[in-house]
Structure 1
């Protein structure tokens, strides 16, 4: 049940962030082009699982888009709000699919459980 709830939270974040993006007035092309940008953090795994997990988690933690959204509100910048919404939508989408924050033991070990072929009930 907790995994289902966490995935539903991801779905809610994805939907609300996408809805929020729609209200920024930014181009949907920007959304499409930048949606997968946080996944560039996978490159950190080329330096090993510890650095890979650090890089992945830095770009897949909701603190980043929350801080960016706060800055966007403070500066009254619809562009910053749009970027924060895209980033949050990506995180929500990943969580909905079961991809959680990574442990340094390996890419497949996440806070939502083990992912991949050898996942135990994920």
Structure 2
């Protein structure tokens, strides 16, 4: 797959994800929000993985919708008037940052292992054998 991120740029993008995770957790703590809610809802975006049952293309769309900062930041902005959405937006940003820090990027329709941060899992192993 051409256009995948490698080297120092990949490391930088993963560090950005870590920074988002830390910033979201610090903001969550500063706002004195309930950490039990954080624990309960942190993994909710993984429901998007069920899209892969409908194929790689649908799975990629589903995953990318749940793992793009667009929805999370929109939730934060709306959260200025609806506090529950502020909580949700921070948890959502933390989740995305966590995934990006681990190297799980936005997906390409070729399959789950093809991400904007490079290939992962068995796809990375096949790529390195070439």
Q: TM-score range by the shorter chain?
A: over 0.9
Deviation by residue 1:61-84 (Cα, 9 ceiling, x = unmatched): 0000110111012x1x33211110
Structure 1 residue aligned with 2:36, among 29, 41, 51? 29
1:108-119 correspondence runs (5 A): 108-119=113-124
Q: Does 1:58 align with 2:81?
A: no
- The question of whether the paired residues in 2 share the 8 Å contact of 1:44 and 1:51 is answered with yes
TM-score by length of 2: 0.87
CA, structure 1 residues 25+79, in 2 after alignment: closer, same or farther (shift >3 Å)?
farther
* Distance across 2 between alignment mates of 1:7 and 1:56: 18
TM-score (norm 1): 0.93
Instruction: State whether residues 69 and 81 of structure 1, in contact with CA within 8 Å, keep that contact through their aligned partners in structure 2.
Output: yes
From 64, 67, 90, the equivalent of 1:85 is 90
Are the counterparts in 2 of residues 24 and 78 from structure 1 also a CA contact under 8 Å?
A: no
Which 5+ residue runs of structure 2 have no aligned equivalent? 1-7
SS at match of 1:25: coil
Residue of 76, 79, 102 corresponding to 1:69: 76
Asked if the contact 2:21–2:96 (Cα under 8 Å) also holds between the matched residues in 1, the reply is yes
Name the SS of the counterpart of 2:48 in structure 1: helix
Match of 2:104 among 59, 75, 99: 99
- Listed as ranges, the gaps of 5+ residues in structure 1 are none
Q: CA deviation at 1:24?
A: 2.7
Instruction: Please say if 1:43 is aligned against 2:50.
Output: yes
One of 7, 10, 25 as aligned partner of 1:3: 10
